[in-house]
Amino acid sequence: MKKYPEFIYQDYSWKVKDKNLLISFDFRIKPDFKFKPSLKIKNIKKENIDKKLLDNLVFNLGLIEMISYWKATCSPVINIKSGNLNREQVQWWKDLIINGMGEFFYKNKIDWRKDDFLTFKVNKGKDIFKNSNLKLKEDVLLPIGGGKDSVVSLELLKDQKISCFSLNPTKATKEIVKVGGCHDFIEIKRKIDSKLLELNRKGFLNGHTPFSAYLAFLTVLTGYLFDKKYIVLSNERSSNEGNLEYLGKEINHQYSKTFDFEKKFRSYSQKYLIKEIEYFSFLRPLYELQITKIFSNFKKYFDSFLSCNEAQKTYSGTKEKTGKWCGQCSKCLFIYVCLYPFIDKKEIIKIFKKDLFKKETSLPIIKELLGIENKSKPFECVGTHQESLIALYLSWKKEKGNELPLVLNYFEKEVLPNYKNLEEKSKKILSSWNKENKLPKNFVEFLKERIN
């Protein structure tokens, strides 16, 4: 916006108080706004903190934090007064903003291709980067959300020494940690500056940011504080498929969950953060449908897990979180379709409180998931079009011969005749292994045992 020509990353600060690490950032948008977001990492155990190393980790965390505030005005200049970045780093951050904010640009009709769209100014006189030289424990830091994917990672890696990690944990997250018996739970509280929510309500630019990229920087910082070598994500291969094309570029709601981001972040982290930390996604070789099949074996989590994003939304502070499956969104329906072939019908209705295959409102969403309505995929963390097709086929196959509910009846009459060899394709997907991954050899064994 021409009215707001410059965004400033003014400063960052951190201190240890009562075994908690307290972090705050100072962001400004000329000429009107100042933001002070903060973070609390509880019960840190590290006694000998390398100040310069932690400075660098906090500074970089601020760079990913600032994107949530910069997006309000998309100021054409980002002025980094709090530290220095070299040319390679500046290019890395520009690449992340362009790719990670693709959905935001699409929905706000922003053209990022202009030469003067974004310029970084950096403080050449303040170099805080320091190469690491650490001996970390061969332990796992495992981020736990509320969904099925991190449950699968937790169960398959339960014989390893795991510390569960969560940012602003939900009720579902806390229940999963409890049910999973993860006794070492690292809890982090992130506080968004209320002035940003005010701007959102006033109509300033708003939209999706690459949250998993934020978690990437936060987990490396946490790995240092708690002496963990392995940062184990639960992102799958399905996230690599984009949603649509805009201005000649593929737009992917899940960009910061993709293998492309994983590779780029690993490179950045090892060069500019902590080279000894291994950041990788444990479930990268698998499709969402494969993960769901594995999850279906862990019945003890059925009452706890929650993958519906609508359940956690506050719409800029204007409503309370529901904490329940909404049964209306593409994420709910995708999880429902994927689970249906593998668990008892009574169990799935108990989870969702209704039969989503009977709802008329499910039909247009099914068409989106299949790519029939248009070629784009819903802006949610859902699987590929092919997975949705196979999941529906397996659901139909399970009910074949019975009275079919609305969605499966539509599938039988309108979709099934257009495809051949779905049985063969379903077997291929359920036994698939994507070689594009960064799993250490010992982690490959844990995962391959569960594919059949």
Per-residue pLDDT reduced to its tens digit, 115-166: 889 999 998 766 767 778 898 999 999 999 889 999 999 999 998 999 999 9
pLDDT at 317 over 90: no
Query: Is the pLDDT score of 210 beyond 60?
Result: yes
Q: How confident is the model at residue 1 (pLDDT cuts 50, 70, 90)?
A: low
Selected residue with higher pLDDT from 335 and 45: 335
Residue type, 331: K
Residues 6+ apart with CB under 8 A from 346: none
pLDDT band per the 50, 70, 90 thresholds, residue 32: confident
d(CA 385, CA 52): 47
Residue 220 and residue 266 in contact, taking contact as beta carbons nearer than 8 Å = no
Across all residues in the chain, what is the average pLDDT? 93
Predicted confidence band of residue 197 (pLDDT cuts 50, 70, 90): very high
Yes or no: say if 79 and 63 are a contact pair by the CB < 8 Å rule.
Answer: no
pLDDT of residue 133: 82
Mean local confidence (pLDDT), 39-64:
94
Residue 444, pLDDT score: 93
> What's the pLDDT band for 320 if we cut at 50, 70, 90?
confident
**Amino acid (1-letter code) at residue 352:** F
Both structure tokens of 100: 């990670």
Cβ proximity of 370 and 418 under 8 Å = no
Per residue in 83-118, pLDDT (tens digit) is 999 999 999 999 999 999 999 999 999 999 988 899
Segment 378-433, tens digit of pLDDT: 888 899 999 999 999 999 999 998 999 999 999 999 999 999 999 999 999 999 99
How much is the pLDDT for 128?
67
Single-letter code of the amino acid located at 167: L
Distance of alpha carbon 259 from alpha carbon 244, whole angstroms: 18
| All residues at 6 or more sequence positions from 241 whose CB lies less than 8 Å from its CB, including other chains | 252, 377, 384, 385
Q: What mean pLDDT comes out for the span 210-236? A: 97
pLDDT at 28 over 80: yes
Give residue 261's identity as a one-letter amino acid code: F
Instruction: State the pLDDT confidence band at 446, using cuts at 50, 70 and 90.
Output: confident
Residue written as tokens 């799993």?
A: 439
Q: Between the CA of residue 119 and those of 29, 61, 323, what are the distances in Å?
A: 15, 20, 40
DSSP 405: P
Per-residue pLDDT at 452 exceeds 60:
no
CA nearest 143: which of 96, 106, 188, 109?
Answer: 188
CA distance 293 to 149: 11
d(CA 69, CA 394): 44
Give me the pLDDT at residue 115, please: 84
Paired tokens of 240? 């690599």
**Residue 315 confidence class, pLDDT cut points 50, 70, 90:** low
Residue 224 pLDDT > 90:
yes
Q: Are 230 and 278 in contact (CB under 8 A)?
A: yes
Q: Summarize the confidence of residues 316-339 as an average pLDDT.
A: 85
Taking 90 as the threshold, does the pLDDT of residue 373 lie above it? no
Mean pLDDT of 309-336: 79
**In the predicted structure, residue 173 carries a pLDDT above the cut 60:** yes
Q: Which residues contact 398 (CB under 8 A, 6 or more apart)?
A: 340, 341
**Whole-structure pTM value:** 0.94
